[in-house]
Structure 1
Amino acid sequence: MKYKSGSYFVVLIIISLLIPSTIISLNLSSSASQLNKKDYQILALTPPISIQNDHDFITYDFPGTGDPEDPYLIENLHISDPITKYGIYIGNTTKSFVIRNCYIRVDGYGIYLNSVENGSASIVHNNCQGHTYQGIALFDSNQCIVQNNTCSNNYNNGIYLSNSSNCSVKFNACNNNFRSGVLLHSSSNNIIHTNTFIENRLHGLQLSLQSQNNLIHHCTFIDNNQNGDSQALDNSYNNKWYDPFTNEGNFWSDLGNRKQYPIEGLSQSFDIYPLNLKFRFTNPVAYYLLVILLPIAVVVTAVLAFILGKKIFPVLRKILRSFIHRRRAKRKQLDPQAIYQPLMDREEYLKRSNENYIKRKAEQKK
């Protein structure tokens, strides 16, 4: 191909420019709730929500029908009450619902679910901070989704699951809690991945008795349980601290020179595939996202290289040829501009050629 080598060159240039900026932009602590102070100040202040049965959803007039395809939406609320026990309480329901984009700061539990229908609850993009008990608590509630929430600076735990199994707890930030970031009690078969646990007073993640067959991977543990030997606790059994499909575990700030990370507790578990060893990133979340985005970036840059190569490389080639001609002219001590002079007519050419021939012969005789 005419521009094949040139296109490859453009691809290398563009990729070299894109990758560093991509890594920097992805070096995030978490993909948790994006609600900040300005956001929740805009939200209308709302009294605490208490739903004791399915009919209460209708009483509150939340949008949706409660069907799995059209769940009730509890969203964009700012609940702040220094004396109430629950910010949002939902119990003994069968309807599907989503709690999202809420800022909750109360004296007790931020969000409390009790005995809701299997697979009916999604808690996403909420900010639950500074509560006496737990930021988010699930009791006897299975197959729930707890995703992209910020549960920090709570007196007990950031997220608490009790008798709640087959849940997905992912992309949450649980930092600076007085106890643990996430605590599981008698909760099994949960997937806990890509969460951030930073500077919790006890463990970043704690699995109590009868919490087995849980999968923990791609989480970030930084400076938790600083007075202890491990940032995680496992007092149950058969929990995996890595993804068995990719053989990728978690990031541990105190791994040091160890090849495996020991988990405190009766199980005597290990994270046998710490991310520190495989990916030398300050935060594995950056790598986790980069793996997804990099192939897309390569395709885009290849297309750009193909398009731009046709326009850029003819110009570059012309400049390069001009440079080469000038260098050759200089070596021969010729006027560089002579290269671009119009061709001489035939008679002048023959005359000069004859003169040069006679001159060479005369030099040879000498």
Structure 2
Amino acid sequence: MLFVILGKTLRSRPIVLCLILTLILNTNIQSHHVAVITSSSNYMTSSDIVLPVWMQDLQEHDPIEILSDADFEDQGWPGNGSESNPFIIENLLIRSEYTSIMIRNTTKHFEVRRCHLTRPDSVLGGGPAVSFRNVTNGHAINNIINGTAYGLLIRNSTGVVVTDNTVYDTMFSGVEVDWAQEVLIANNTIHHSVSGIALYETTDLTIRDNRVYRCHTGVFLTDVHSSNILGNTIWRNILGLDLAIGNSIITNNSIYWNAEFGIRVSTGIASNMVYGNRIGWNGVHNAEDNSNSTGWDDGLGTGNSWNDYNGTGQYPVPGSSAGLDRWPLVLVDNAAPVVDQPLDMDFEFGSKGLMLRWNTSDEFPNSYQIMVNGLWVEEGTWIDQTITFLLDDLQNGTHTLRLRLWDAQGNYAESYVSVHVSEAEPPMISNPPDIEYVVGGSGYNITWIPEDAYPESYGIFINGTLSESGEWNGSAILVSVDGLNAGLYNFMLVVFDDPGQNATDTVLVRVRAQTGTPPPDTLGVVLLLFGVGVVGFVITFSILYTSTPYLMRFRREDDSEDPEEIQVAIEELQEDRSETGRSV
């Protein structure tokens, strides 16, 4: 582990000019309690992983700068600034090399929510993603922030709420609060920052239920008063909780597996009270106290749980202050992690989005590794109760997947799953009949019905030239062949599935030329006058168009009220001796 800071200190805070941080956290297995694993069906696809709605509908936006209450309305943000109808900034993707959202000198209620705030890929450093300064009643809720200098920077503000955000890969602090009061920081996940949460010269804060890991310092407090730090999980950092001047209450936190100290209290006038916490398996010491007045119990009979307490007497806290926990408890974790056993899987090669899912639990989760056919392919911090592994890259054959979990005590659990990848069946396509029609005909279509378990795309070629292509979702594919000139056409459909296999089918379309001018809708009215009893008259019509047979109508009108109508199809007419017509 190497951590180098060059520079000077301002307000007990290092100005970092050069930072080289390498975290090497070994898996130190202290015991071998193996879990009993139960079977369950955990075979899912990527469609089972539902992204939050706001992640599916982000709009790119330029950086936002609000310098007064009037700017909210002038810039068109919805809401009226009341507590029940705050101004809303939401569903935005902002990439900025400086500050993505800056809000200053406001008193109206507002919310920044469901935004992804980051920096351009080619830019290093920059400013905070979110900056609140001299703000009252501001909320930052459910945002994702990464790659910036700071995640959220709150200064000279009152009544600010920061909840349910994910902040990672920041150069300095994930969340920093300076000279503020009445601030709530809750339910955030912060990792891979120099300081996860950093608090300076603040009063009346609540820091609860956050998860902070893989930082240099998980939570840092100096000159913080009348505040509560409770219910947080702080693990796998260099320093877990770093305290200096202040008189806050630190209770009910899980602080474990940090490389140096779980809790360190620096030199200074510190009247913090630390009790009801679970502190264990930290590298150098679980705690170190160099202050003059830190309390390690509540004075009423409640101390902390320590994994290195021997169960007898008081617990001496290392450091120059000779601090004591007068009512310590032994922190014991003899229970192995719990992991269910997914059923073995069998699917075709090339299937996309299939995932293996393990449901897990432990009081002090630490790390995990995944092995495929004897080779480790993935490892990381055990954070969530569900661990997933994407199966897209598996080739044909039978594979053994192994998950191993470790908790802070070193207890572990394993799960083995057999995954068989079979050779995929190619797509199948129906074979529609060939088509023939005369120029000018309409209503002619080719309907192909292709089938495949993993449809992907299609292409339609006419005489060897691509005419149409697109995504294929497994449904029928229809193409109109109307409007063609006379000739012979080769229509070919090609469909592809996810594994890259394809199938084709060809339909021939013959379009015949017209041999004359199409007839009018009616052939006109012919009036014949002849005497009663006259016979032998012949009416001759010449049909000069050889398309679809037409229908002729003959009407005889006399003195009766209802004329009689006779319909005769062309095919039924008596042919004459000419080549151009028929007669009756």
Compute the TM-score of the two structures, normalised by the length of structure 2: 0.37
How far residue 144 of structure 1 moved from its aligned partner, in angstroms, is 1.0
Relative to structure 1, is the Cα distance of residues 154 and 52 closer, same or farther in structure 2, using a 3 angstrom cutoff? same
How far residue 250 of structure 1 moved from its aligned partner, in angstroms, is 2.7
How far residue 252 of structure 1 moved from its aligned partner, in angstroms, is 2.1
Match for residue 304 of structure 2 among 273, 293, 308: 273
Match of 1:204, SS? strand
How far residue 283 of structure 1 moved from its aligned partner, in angstroms, is 5.2
Instruction: Quote the Cα distance in structure 2 between the aligned partners of 1:283 and 1:156.
Output: 26
Relative to structure 1, is the Cα distance of residues 265 and 155 closer, same or farther in structure 2, using a 3 angstrom cutoff? farther
- The residue that corresponds to 1:241 in the other structure is 250
- The residue that corresponds to 1:337 in the other structure is none
- The residue that corresponds to 2:364 in the other structure is 282
Alpha-carbon displacement from aligned partner over 1:242-272 (angstroms, at most 9, x marks no partner): 0xxxxx33342354479x9526664656584
CA contact (8 A) 1:234 1:268 kept: no
Q: Does 1:63 align with 2:63?
A: no
Instruction: Quote the Cα distance in structure 2 between the aligned partners of 1:164 and 1:35.
Output: 34
RCO (CA 8 Å, sep 6+): is it higher in 1 or 2? Answer: 1
Alignment gaps of 5+ in structure 2: 1-37, 43-49, 120-125, 259-278, 298-302, 308-330, 334-361, 367-382, 386-584
Instruction: Quote the Cα distance in structure 2 between the aligned partners of 1:263 and 1:135.
Output: 29
The one-letter code of the counterpart of 1:80 is R
Q: Does 1:121 align with 2:152?
A: no
Q: Determine which structure has more spread, i.e. the larger CA radius of gyration.
A: 2
CA contact (8 A) 1:251 1:283 kept: no
Relative to structure 1, is the Cα distance of residues 191 and 155 closer, same or farther in structure 2, using a 3 angstrom cutoff? same
Relative to structure 1, is the Cα distance of residues 196 and 35 closer, same or farther in structure 2, using a 3 angstrom cutoff? farther
- The residue that corresponds to 2:232 in the other structure is 219
Instruction: List aligned pairs for 1:313-352, cutoff 5 A.
Output: none
Instruction: Quote the Cα distance in structure 1 between the aligned partners of 2:138 and 2:215.
Output: 27
Match of 1:142, SS? coil
- The residue that corresponds to 1:173 in the other structure is 189
Identity %, equivalent residues: 23
Q: Does 1:88 align with 2:107?
A: no
Instruction: Quote the Cα distance in structure 2 between the aligned partners of 1:264 and 1:175.
Output: 25
How far residue 222 of structure 1 moved from its aligned partner, in angstroms, is 1.3
Instruction: Quote the Cα distance in structure 2 between the aligned partners of 1:150 and 1:275.
Output: 30
The one-letter code of the counterpart of 1:238 is N
Alpha-carbon displacement from aligned partner over 1:144-179 (angstroms, at most 9, x marks no partner): 1100011111000000000111211110111011x1
- The residue that corresponds to 1:109 in the other structure is 128
The one-letter code of the counterpart of 2:113 is R
Instruction: Quote the Cα distance in structure 1 between the aligned partners of 2:104 and 2:306.
Output: 39
Relative to structure 1, is the Cα distance of residues 131 and 253 closer, same or farther in structure 2, using a 3 angstrom cutoff? same
Alpha-carbon displacement from aligned partner over 1:182-236 (angstroms, at most 9, x marks no partner): 00010122111111111102x100001x2122211111111111xxxx4111112
CA contact (8 A) 2:54 2:114 kept: no
Match of 2:250, SS? coil
CA contact (8 A) 2:280 2:306 kept: no
CA contact (8 A) 1:215 1:240 kept: yes
Instruction: Quote the Cα distance in structure 1 between the aligned partners of 2:155 and 2:80.
Output: 24
- The residue that corresponds to 1:207 in the other structure is 221
CA contact (8 A) 2:237 2:257 kept: no
How far residue 68 of structure 1 moved from its aligned partner, in angstroms, is 1.2
- The residue that corresponds to 1:52 in the other structure is 67
Relative to structure 1, is the Cα distance of residues 126 and 261 closer, same or farther in structure 2, using a 3 angstrom cutoff? same
Match for residue 287 of structure 2 among 252, 262, 277: 262
Relative to structure 1, is the Cα distance of residues 93 and 39 closer, same or farther in structure 2, using a 3 angstrom cutoff? closer
Alpha-carbon displacement from aligned partner over 1:83-133 (angstroms, at most 9, x marks no partner): 3x210000001111011000001331111000012xx1111101111102x
Match of 2:169, SS? coil
Relative to structure 1, is the Cα distance of residues 168 and 249 closer, same or farther in structure 2, using a 3 angstrom cutoff? same
CA contact (8 A) 2:55 2:114 kept: no
How far residue 286 of structure 1 moved from its aligned partner, in angstroms, is 8.7
Match for residue 145 of structure 1 among 161, 166, 185: 161
Alignment gaps of 5+ in structure 1: 1-19, 25-33, 243-247, 288-366
The one-letter code of the counterpart of 1:70 is N
Match of 2:70, SS? helix
Compute the TM-score of the two structures, normalised by the length of structure 1: 0.58
Match for residue 136 of structure 1 among 152, 172, 175: 152
Instruction: List aligned pairs for 1:271-310, cutoff 5 A.
Output: 272-274=303-305, 277=331, 281-282=363-364
How far residue 47 of structure 1 moved from its aligned partner, in angstroms, is 0.3
Alpha-carbon displacement from aligned partner over 1:323-362 (angstroms, at most 9, x marks no partner): xxxxxxxxxxxxxxxxxxxxxxxxxxxxxxxxxxxxxxxx
Instruction: Quote the Cα distance in structure 2 between the aligned partners of 1:78 and 1:286.
Output: 26
